[in-house]
Structure 1
């Protein structure tokens, strides 16, 4: 079994709970309160700033030119492609990027990003991959499920661009690239190191759930 498959088995039950979360389901059927989505967008925008910094730490610690290019592309994708969806929605809410930067991180956002940055500062490439991967991978997992479930009603759904972004072929390719990278990095590691890496992956997955809870106001 590939290490990525072992990781997925560890969090599958939790990730399936993401799909049943009222915030996620509200995006899918279009019933989510827009004020909740606005709060989410602001916090996720602030989150992505630090998320990109974690990728940057991966770039610093990369050992090959191939890995460096991989992290460069990830930084670009986060700062340009992913934030563009947020920016378009924020314009709808009358918010500029500069105004969003003036907001403070919620406790959950700060706790999550500080955890990732701590791992990135102290850890190696494998540990950095573990802490960032649940976000990218689970967002595709969610986006694909929402697209498959609600494709017949997307045209009238306010959240259509969000669903299309995270279910897109491009985002799937991004997630798969990281899955393959994890399998490459962890091909011959010890059982003890596997357990340590799984712990990081699980903790970041738990933070993802807390982020959905925070966004919904639970």
Structure 2
């Protein structure tokens, strides 16, 4: 069994809850309250800034050029590529992008999640960092593909179509596959005990993803 298959099998119960979440069902159906979405985007924009710092720490800990390039791409992907869709929506909501990180603060769920990942990046190894960042990248593609498949005949005119298409796109699938392959390459030959430790990191980060959706829907 591939290392990432092992991770997924242990987090599947959590990931299934993503697809049942009212926030994401609302996105798929186009019925989600737009102010909830605006507040979510602001928190996710702030999240991505902190997320990029985790990759930056991995750059410091990289053991060779291949790892350095990979984690450097993670930094640029987080703060440039992935924020592009956020920025489009947020501008539509009248938000000034250059003011976001000064106008708004991380809420408690967001701060707890990003602090966990940053602590992993400081105290852990390259392998720990991979296990910590992978649920975000992978689960967003998982969600995007599932939503597009389920609502493919209802996306026209859906306010959230661009969000769904971003995470279901061929480019994002390629991005996900590259990180899954990288994780299997770096972590695939570790001991069973070490894989168990990394599984715990992956599952915990997956649970934080669920809490992020809860926060987005219920407010905080």
Question: TM over 0.5, yes or no?
Answer: yes
DSSP-derived class of the 2:105 partner: coil
Residue 9 of structure 2 aligns with which residue?
A: 9
Structure 1: which 5+ residue stretches go unaligned?
A: none
Deviation at 1:77, TM superposition (A): 1.3
Residue 45 of structure 1 aligns with which residue?
A: 45
Deviation at 1:59, TM superposition (A): 1.0
1:54-65 alignment to 2 at 5 Å? 54-65=54-65
The TM-score with structure 2 as length reference comes to 0.97
Q: CA RMSD in A?
A: 0.9
Aligned length: 218
Deviation at 1:99, TM superposition (A): 2.7
1:101-112 alignment to 2 at 5 Å? 101=101, 102-112=103-113
The TM-score with structure 1 as length reference comes to 0.98
2:78 pairs with 1:78? yes
Deviation at 1:35, TM superposition (A): 0.7
Stretch of structure 1 that moved more, 69-78 or 88-97:
69-78
Deviation at 1:18, TM superposition (A): 0.2
Residue 166 of structure 2 aligns with which residue?
A: 165
Structure 2: which 5+ residue stretches go unaligned?
A: none
Residue 189 of structure 1 aligns with which residue?
A: 190
Deviation at 1:64, TM superposition (A): 1.2
Deviation at 1:98, TM superposition (A): 2.5
Tell me, in whole angstroms, the C-alpha distance in 2 between the residues paired with 1:16 and 1:46.
26
Tell me, in whole angstroms, the C-alpha distance in 1 between the residues paired with 2:66 and 2:207.
31
2:129 pairs with 1:125? no
